[in-house]
Amino acid sequence: MKNMKTKLLLFTFLVSITLFAQVGNGFENVSGAAFTATGGACQYFDFNTTTEHTLVNYNAPCGLIYVSEPSSGVTLGYSITLDPTSPNGPAGFSDGDFFGVGTSAFFSNEIGFVPPEGSQAFFMEDPDGYITMTFDLVDLAGATNPQFSMQYILEGTSWEVPNDFLKITIKITDCGTSTVTVIDTSGLDIDNLGIEDTWNTLNADLSSFVGCKAQLVIEFSSNSAAEELGLDAILFTGGNTLSIPSFDLNNAISVFPNPSNGYITIKNSGVALGKVVIVDLNGRTVAAYDLNGITVDKELNLSSLLSSGMYFMTLTSKDKSITKKILISEN
């Protein structure tokens, strides 16, 4: 009876994941910056103050500060543009600011609140211009009840009207064109909205857009170091990222046993594997290994790393990748 229940539970999980695949970004897959204003040792700099342009990851003395990330597995990639010619410009990041993926310790010190999910989140401070953060497309085909959620925090300060604002929308394409507005403070005084100094949760019902493609866009503008925004726990249920091509490696790679108690074998039919990354249902990386081009079977002991539940294992081979669903059961 126990084995039958386990098989039924696994079948239920597999059906659910097929129809309700989850993609998002909790900003856990890259190294977060601790940020400090001391001599610009850990601040984001960008010296284009005249034209709208795409921001790039900045190699600061403290290490690389991430302001963009490619899609990978269930992690949703994003890019950011800055328009310094907008009313809050034109300084942009020429003076150095706290901007990019930040650590929990930084969030705690800067705004007094740690990220609600994991140990990192995305931080925006004083862009002195118009920021547009665009995430990769999400395919809602095959979903029956796609949903969106995320969390954000705004620092309690004196926001200015009309130049300071936060606008979060989801652009819908490939089945007509429409826009779902999740939040828009344009023309409103943020100080009067009761949304400062706390992590707020946003939700959007996308069930009317099954078969469409969705794209999250976050727009933000401010011109003071006290005007700060944090982003975390971005999640689409019922979608798959489209930015990375899908390659069929199923004939060459398999994972067994599945479910397992944490001891897993990657069965390899001669493919040179580069890396394996395992993430949970929230998109957080829980294990990663460099396989150094191995072309034979590989055993992994995950028993001390993973608790019971469903995970995604992404294996890469040169420019190809495949994601396997694995279930960890109780020993």
For the chain, give every domain's residue range: 19-241, 245-328
Share of the chain above pLDDT 70, in %: 88
Residues 66-79 as b/e (b if ≥16 CB within 10 A, e otherwise) read bbbbebbbbbbbbb
Kindly report, residue by residue over 300-320, the tens digit of the pLDDT: 999 888 888 888 888 887 657
Closest CA to 22 of 322, 260, 311, 303: 311
Tokens 């004196």 belong to which residue? Answer: 158
Spell out the residues 6+ positions from residue 157 whose beta carbon is closer than 8 angstroms to its own. Answer: 196, 224, 226, 227, 228
- Over range 45-60, report the average pLDDT: 96
pLDDT score for 21: 58
Strand-pairing partners, residue 241, are 138
Kindly report, residue by residue over 139-178, the tens digit of the pLDDT: 888 777 899 999 999 999 999 999 999 999 999 999 888 9
Whether the Cβ atoms of residue 92 and residue 84 lie closer than 8 Å to each other: yes
pLDDT score for 61: 94
Confidence check: pLDDT of 243 > 50 = no
Domains 19-241 and 245-328 are alike in CATH topology: no
pLDDT score for 104: 93
Kindly report, residue by residue over 10-49, the tens digit of the pLDDT: 433 333 222 335 789 999 989 999 999 888 899 999 999 9
Confidence of residue 234 (pLDDT cuts 50, 70, 90): very high
- E-strand stretches of 22-88: 22-25, 53-54, 58-60, 63-65, 78-83
pLDDT score for 331: 56
Q: CATH class for domain 245-328?
A: mainly beta
CATH no., domain 19-241:
2.60.120.260
